[in-house]
Amino acid sequence: MIEIQNLTKRYGQIKAVSNLSFTVNKGEILGFLGPNGAGKSTTMNIITGFIPASEGSVKVGGYDIMENPKEAKKHIGYLPELPPLYMDMTITEYLNFVSELKMVDKSKRKAQLDDIMELVRISDVRNRLIKNLSKGYKQRVGLAQALVGSPDVLILDEPTVGLDPKQIIEIRKLIKALGKQHTIILSSHILPEVSAVCERVVIINKGEIAAVDTPENLSKGFGTSSKFSVTIAGPKSSVEGYIRDIYGVKYVEQNLEKEKDVINYIVESDKDIDVRRPLFFAMAKAGYPIIELKSMDMTLEDIFLHLVTDEKGVEQ
Amino acid sequence: MQAILKREIKSYFNSPIAYVLLGLFTFICALFFYFVNIQSQSADFNPVFSTISFILIFIVPIMTMRILAEDRKNGTEVLLVSSPVSVWEIVLGKYLAMLVVFLIMTCIVAIFPIIIFMFGKPPIAPLLGSFIGFMLLGASLISIGVFASSLTENQVIAVFLSFVMMLVIWLVESIGNALGGWAANVLNWFSLTSRYNNFTSGLLDIPSAVYFLSFISVFLFLTMRVIEKRRWSQG
């Protein structure tokens, strides 16, 4: 649905975005993750045709945004970082204007707007002036605006920024629901958001792609070892020895002593070897019961920090 | 384009500035009508036209100040540019909206000659010429205002810029005449006011009309280039 190839944006000597390539399939929700200033908004502005790229191409629904902007733009609904609202209009007036702008068929207009307003839940304030709305409502009107003309592709730039936790959950649910009919690119610098909503994540840093994968694969597949936490009732000296003897264990560390002789350990092992079963049998044989055992996937935060900061920063 | 045109007209009349300007303009027209026509018992409306055409360089900048500057400030420019309309349509839609507002203002001016016609038969050609000239002049000044508004996101600066540009254009004729010789010829050729004066004598001056229209096209083209240029340079 969206094909991005070798996208580069230069401002004089500075490269805001350099050599980005990725594709988004139909019906997919793609998370676009990166620290502030990584080039997320720039990339989104280029995809939507608001600003031109210095090099590379963007194709939306098969149309090149530079060569055939009108057709390409018909497929896109865009919610920029700052919702593009006319403060002196009511919601109904504003959405009518947007439908006209996006050349929605006059006969379909009213029904479509009613549906959209119902969907983002602004029907009850439809006749209020936009300038009098709260931030959460303004954001929803912004989202409604992107939905006008039922475009195949939705580009949402930090859609939950500045909302309260309840609104954030609502908007996320809404985006997930929208993902059934639309292809969505969603940018964020909040990791749980991306892992909650997106099927695939592109992490960018300093204008370059740092990683592309599903949130699960990213947290599983990163690094060479897997980590888990285990709490065992037994004297430290002998338990530690037993754990070390298991094939594949690379590293054991006492984490905290919960009660006397009930100790929590962090165990690291080779990624390819599951040491949890041998651990269970070893402990059963020795007569030290395992109280708790859970694997510690790297969170997206860990991966993110790992990718966007230098190695030194992570080790600290 | 129609969507933008309609929205701008509506939005203009939603703001109090519209009514203040309209009221002020009508008041000034009425004032000069009283002094020039009624008090001095003259049926010649052209002097009034000449005077109020000067008033335009105060009124038009205020009228056009927000037309593009506001979109840039509120971020609605993103909506316009990323929707399936070309920059050319955006600029034209905005310009035509201002033109319609201006035509509404001119319709009010038309009341005064009608009053004169109720009581006598003044020659119609100079009046009609003045009317056409006035509209072309206004249309040209609006194109300057739209251009100035595209240059900045601050409306006060937009007013100032367009006012300065209009003032310079107004003074071109006097400067030319003061210099004399070939400079006078060149500057008079470029001057909007001397072109306007051709119309007041009742001539339907086609070259001047073409000049006005080209003037408008150039400024609208420049406006478009400014927006395009900014698209390239912003992040």
The domains found in chain A, sorted by start residue, are 2-220 (3.40.50.300), 224-297 (3.30.70.100)
- Our CA-based measurement puts residue A179 at a distance from the nearest CA of chain B, in whole angstroms, of 21
Contact state of B79 with A98 under an 8 Å Cβ cutoff: yes
Check CB contact under 8 Å for B233 and A101: no
| CA A58/CA A64 separation, integer angstroms | 6
Contacts of A311 (CB under 8 A, 6+ apart): none
d(CA B169, CA A50): 34
- A165 — pLDDT class (breaks 50, 70, 90): confident
pLDDT of B212? 94
- Max avg pLDDT among A120-124, B47-51, B160-164, B231-235: B160-164
- Helix or strand (DSSP H, E) at B23: helix B16-32
Domain, as residue range, for B77: 2-230
User: Which pair of tokens denotes residue A245?
Assistant: 């003897």
A11, B81: Cβ pair inside 8 Å? no
Record the tokens describing residue B33, joined without a space. 């009508």
Please give the pLDDT value at position A223: 59
- The model's pLDDT over B147-157, given as tens digits with 9 standing for 90+, comes to 999 999 999 99
Distance separating alpha carbons of residues A42 and B120, to the nearest angstrom: 67
- The beta strand positions in chain A, using DSSP E, are 2-11, 14-24, 29-33, 55-60, 63-64, 76-79, 153-157, 183-188, 200-205, 208-213, 225-233, 249-259, 262-270, 290-295
C-alpha–C-alpha distance, residues A158 and A80, integer Å: 8
Q: A162 pLDDT exceeds 80? A: no
Half-sphere exposure of A22 (CA within 13 A, CB side): 23
The closest alpha carbon to A279, from A307, A312, A310, A252, belongs to A252
Q: Which residues of chain B does A71 touch, with a Cβ-Cβ cutoff of 8 Å?
A: 84
Q: Is there a contact between B83 and A101 if contact means CB atoms under 8 Å apart?
A: yes
CB A267 within 8 Å of CB A224 = no
Task: Name residues 9-28 of chain B within 8 A of A (Cβ).
Answer: 10-11, 14-15
Distance from C-alpha of B105 to C-alpha of B18, rounded to nearest angstrom: 10
CB pair distance less than 8 Å for A73 and B82: yes
First CA to last CA across chain B, in angstroms?
26
Q: Which of B100, B145, B142, B138 is nearest to B1 (CA)?
A: B100
Nearest chain B residue (CA) to A45: B235
- Joined tokens for residue A262: 């009930």
CB-based contact A84 B4, cutoff 8 Å: no
Structure confidence at residue A313 as a pLDDT band (50, 70, 90): very low
B145 lies in a domain? yes
Residue B74 falls inside a structural domain: yes
- What is the rounded distance in angstroms from the CA atom of residue B144 to the CA atom of residue B212? 12
B77 contacts on A by Cβ (under 8 Å): 84
**Quick one: pLDDT at residue A311?**
44
Instruction: Indicate whether B82 belongs to any domain.
Output: yes
Q: How confident is the model at residue A315 (pLDDT cuts 50, 70, 90)?
A: very low
**What are the tens digits of pLDDT across the range A42-101?**
999 999 999 999 889 999 988 999 899 999 999 999 999 899 999 999 999 999 999 999
Residue B74: which of A87, A93, A145 has the nearest Cβ? A87
Contact B232 A80 (CB under 8 A): no
Percent of chain A whose predicted confidence (pLDDT) is above 70: 92
Q: How far is residue A227 from each of residues A236, A275, A277, measured CA to CA in Å?
A: 19, 10, 14
Distance between A76 CA and the closest CA of chain B, angstroms: 8
Instruction: Please check whether residue B235 is in contact with residue A42, taking contact to mean a CB–CB distance below 8 angstroms.
Output: yes
Looking at beta carbons, which residues of chain A come within 8 Å of B82?
A: 48-50, 73, 76, 78
Is A49–B74 a contact, with Cβ atoms under 8 angstroms apart? Answer: no
**For range A205-228, the mean pLDDT:** 76
Decide: A58 and A65 in contact? Cβ < 8 Å. Answer: yes
Sign of CA dihedral A102, A105, A110, A113: negative
Residues 223-262 in A contacting B (C-alpha not used; CB under 8 Å): none
Which of B66, B79, B86, B87 best tests the A interface by mutation, with the highest count of A CBs <10 A? Answer: B79
Average model confidence (pLDDT) across chain A = 86
Contacts of A80 in chain B (CB under 8 A): 75, 78
Longest dimension (CA), chain A: 79
Mutation for testing the A interface, residue in B12, B13, B78 having most A CBs under 10 Å: B78
pLDDT at position A208 over 90:
no
For residue B85, being part of any structural domain is answered with yes
For range A242-270, the mean pLDDT: 84
Instruction: Report, as an integer, the average pLDDT of B176-197.
Output: 86
Residues B45-57 pLDDT 10s: 888 888 888 999 9
- Give the pLDDT band (50/70/90) at residue B5: very high
Q: Tell me the one-letter amino acid at B185.
A: N
Searching chain A, which residue's CA lies closest to the CA of residue B82?
A50
What's the structural domain count of chain B?
Answer: 1
pLDDT(A23) > 60 = yes
A85 touches chain B (CB under 8 A): yes
Amino acid A110: pLDDT: 92
DSSP secondary structure code for residue A179 in this structure: T
**With 70 as the cut, is the pLDDT of residue B232 above it?**
yes
pLDDT value of residue A118:
92
The DSSP-derived string for A94-114 is HHHHHHHHTT--HHHHHHHHH
CA distance B181 to B195: 19
Instruction: Note whether A67 contacts B: Cβ–Cβ < 8 A.
Output: no
Asked if the Cβ–Cβ distance from A69 to B84 is below 8 Å, we say yes
- Flag whether B124 is in a domain: yes
Tokens 């360089």 identify what position? B57
Residues of B in contact with A73 (CB under 8 A): 82-84
Do the Cβ atoms of B84 and A48 come within 8 Å?
Answer: no
Contacts of B10 in chain A (CB under 8 A): 93
Question: Model confidence at A314, in pLDDT bands (50, 70, 90)?
Answer: very low
Whether B235 maps to a domain, the answer reads no
Is there a domain that residue B91 lies in?
Answer: yes
Q: Is B26 exposed, middle or buried (0-12, 13-18, 19+ CB in 10 A)?
A: middle
Tokens 């929605």, residue located:
A104
Residue B172 counted as domain residue: yes
Give the pLDDT of residue A221. Answer: 59
Residues in chain B within 8 Å Cβ distance of A156: none
Q: What is the DSSP letter of A298?
A: P
A163 to chain B, any CB pair closer than 8 A? The answer is no
Residue of B nearest to A54 (CA): B232
Amino acid A111: pLDDT: 93
How sure is the predictor about A308, in pLDDT bands with cuts at 50, 70 and 90? low
Chain A residue with the nearest C-alpha to that of B6: A97
Minimal Cα distance from A38: which residue of B?
Answer: B235
* Residue ranges of B 188-207 with Cβ closer than 8 A to chain A: none
Pure H helices in B38-154: 46-64, 66-74, 76-82, 87-109, 111-119, 124-151
Q: pLDDT by residue (tens digit) across B13-49?
A: 998 999 999 999 999 999 999 999 889 888 888 888 8
Q: Is the pLDDT of residue A242 over 70?
A: yes
Q: ipTM for the complex?
A: 0.89
> Six-digit token pair at A240?
């530690």
The residue whose two tokens read 């002998």 is: A238
* Chain B residue with minimum CA distance to A10: B233
| Token couple for A250 | 């690379």
Determine whether the interchain pair B235/A16 forms a contact, defined as Cβ–Cβ distance below 8 Å.
Answer: yes
Distance from CA of A48 to the nearest CA of B (A): 6
Order across the sheet with A225-233: list the strands.
Answer: A249-259, A262-270, A225-233, A290-295
Predicted confidence (pLDDT) at residue A312 exceeds the cutoff of 60? no
* Residues A102-133 as b or e (16 or more Cβ within 10 Å = b): bebeeeebeebbeebbebbebeebbeebbeeb
